């Protein structure tokens, strides 16, 4: 499939127009969207917007100018319905756009539509959307992953050249692995969260889904950087990510933590990680032993911390200001009925869990211990990155599972994120790159690097992408 950079090159050479790219996108969507359900909202005025961009195209336009993209439907878009795939926001139209959206718009990027997700980004398969599941374009009987499943489908099916997603515990990298595209989670604070509907504020991050690593570098450069609206965004200068990739990866040090390729990881995926490690060594990267002994406990800590933050963040959705309001005998009954009817089962489960672990008598037993485990994970990763530049692991323990196979088994569903969650808990940057397929299904190879070292991460990822093809 054509990359973002290839499309930009055709636009510069006047071999294509933004209008022709939009028409091609709509044609592809018309052919397969009914089966895949990647979008919740398509923008019918995208054609007019493309024509305007073509008329106004300046000399030296940037690489994103005039190229259509998709955004996960938990990112605010001014004047465009934003639902977070929940009934409680079914008709919500925000009065402002997320900073990431505004930065793309400022560079001439063209929003094509808003993509499907697990409700409020809580899920690993996009089956928890209030508007129905998305399907994997490689095999529509299987899930595309989640919660950014619609964005991954839009890229993998050729509907858009790139898409924005969000990450709380792997929601960009996991669907990228399942659908066979590149999913990048920046370091916590690298990209502004302003305008992202919050799930767990200490974990959430906006990420990218693209067709190759260099495209990920282009999009990240466009959306990264300090934002006065988000006090957790860092002031560090945004590096030249494409320039960093051009330096190559020879001499970088990498490790393969044994904790990531042990029990629970499918043999074919483990073998692909070890094959990739051998190929990287052959390209001049240095392999070193790494141990991360607290990794097996990360999933437990995450499913205490994330629901706790969610129970607080979602308190604002009470039927009074957003979405349908249910009437009751008094205000409390109205709140309870509105939330009961507006939220889906998975969101209710996590709110209840989060409220429980924060309640009197359980805070120290659960929440405080989970935060201590999180601190230990950060310390272990910090020690590891003193010896290596990147870590190589599987992105997911298995390939994409069948639709319906885990939807009634929350624990099995949560295991799909077991290998991605540690990077969110530690605030690392991480990326999933397609490896060699297993039985016709994509396999994701994950690289992680220290916070704010996306330049090193992308250098290693570009090398990995080249050798595993």
Catalytic residues: 72, 147, 171
Pairing relationship of beta strands 286-288 and 429-434 according to DSSP bridges: unpaired
**β-strand partners of 164:** 71, 208
For 161-195, give one letter per residue: b (16+ CB within 10 A) or e: bbbbbbbbbbbbbbbbbbbbbbbbbbbbbbbbbbb
Q: Give CA angle at 342 (341, 345), nearest 5°.
A: 80
How far is Cα 276 from Cα 281, in angstroms, rounded to an integer? 9
Cβ atoms of 205 and 430 within 8 Å: the answer is: no
Within 8 A by CB and 6+ apart from 438, the residues are 266, 268, 269, 272, 399
Strand 444-449 versus strand 429-434 pairing type: antiparallel
What would the two tokens of residue 385 be? 């990155």
Scan for tokens 């240095």, then name that residue: 286
Separation between Cα atoms, residue 134 and residue 430, nearest integer Å = 24
CA distance 179 to 161: 14
Kind of pairing, strands 444-449 and 110-115?
A: unpaired
């Amino acid at each position: 499939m054509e990359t973002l950079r290839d499309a930009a090159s055709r636009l510069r050479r006047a071999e294509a127009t933004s209008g022709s790219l939009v028409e091609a996108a709509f044609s592809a969507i018309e052919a397969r969207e009914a089966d895949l359900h990647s979008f919740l909202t398509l923008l019918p005025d995208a054609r007019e917007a493309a024509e305007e961009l073509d008329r106004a195209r300046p000399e030296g336009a940037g690489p994103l100018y005039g190229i259509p993209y998709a955004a996960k439907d938990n990112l605010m878009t001014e004047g465009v319905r934003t639902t977070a795939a929940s009934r409680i926001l079914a008709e919500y139209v925000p009065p402002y756009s997320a900073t990431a959206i505004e930065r793309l718009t400022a560079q001439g990027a063209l929003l094509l539509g808003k993509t499907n997700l697990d409700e409020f980004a809580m899920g690993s398969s996009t089956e928890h959307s209030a508007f129905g599941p998305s399907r994997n374009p490689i095999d529509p009987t299987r899930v595309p992953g989640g919660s950014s499943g619609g964005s991954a489908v839009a890229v993998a099916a050729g509907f858009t050249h790139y898409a924005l997603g969000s990450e709380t515990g792997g929601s960009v990298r996991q669907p990228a692995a399942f659908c066979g595209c590149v999913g990048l989670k920046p370091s916590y604070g690298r990209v502004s969260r302003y305008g992202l509907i919050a799930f767990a504020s200490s974990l959430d991050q906006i990420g990218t889904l693209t067709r190759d690593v260099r495209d990920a570098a282009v999009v990240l450069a466009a959306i990264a950087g300090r934002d006065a609206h988000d006090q957790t965004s860092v002031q560090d200068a945004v590096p030249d990510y494409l320039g960093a990739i051009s330096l190559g990866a020879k001499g970088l040090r990498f490790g393969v933590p044994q904790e990531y390729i042990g029990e629970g990881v499918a043999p074919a995926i483990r073998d692909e990680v070890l094959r990739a490690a051998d190929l990287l060594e052959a390209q001049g990267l240095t392999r070193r032993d790494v141990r991360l002994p607290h990794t097996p406990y990360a999933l437990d800590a995450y499913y205490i911390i994330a629901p706790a933050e969610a129970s607080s963040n979602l308190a604002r959705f009470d039927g009074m200001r957003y979405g349908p309001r249910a009437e009751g005998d008094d205000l409390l009954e109205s709140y309870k009925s509105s939330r009961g009817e507006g939220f889906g089962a998975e969101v209710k489960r996590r709110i209840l869990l989060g409220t429980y672990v924060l309640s009197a008598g359980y805070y120290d037993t659960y929440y405080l211990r989970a935060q201590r485990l999180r601190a230990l994970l950060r310390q272990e990763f910090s020690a590891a990155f003193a010896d290596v530049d990147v870590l190589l692991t599987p992105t997911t323990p298995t390939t994409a599972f069948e639709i319906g196979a885990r939807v009634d088994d929350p624990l099995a569903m949560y295991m799909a994120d077991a290998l991605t969650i540690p990077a969110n808990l530690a605030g690392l940057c991480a990326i999933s790159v397609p490896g060699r397929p297993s039985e016709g299904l994509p396999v994701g190879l994950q690289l992680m690097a220290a916070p704010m070292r996306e330049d090193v991460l992308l250098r290693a990822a570009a090398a990995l992408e080249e050798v595993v093809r």
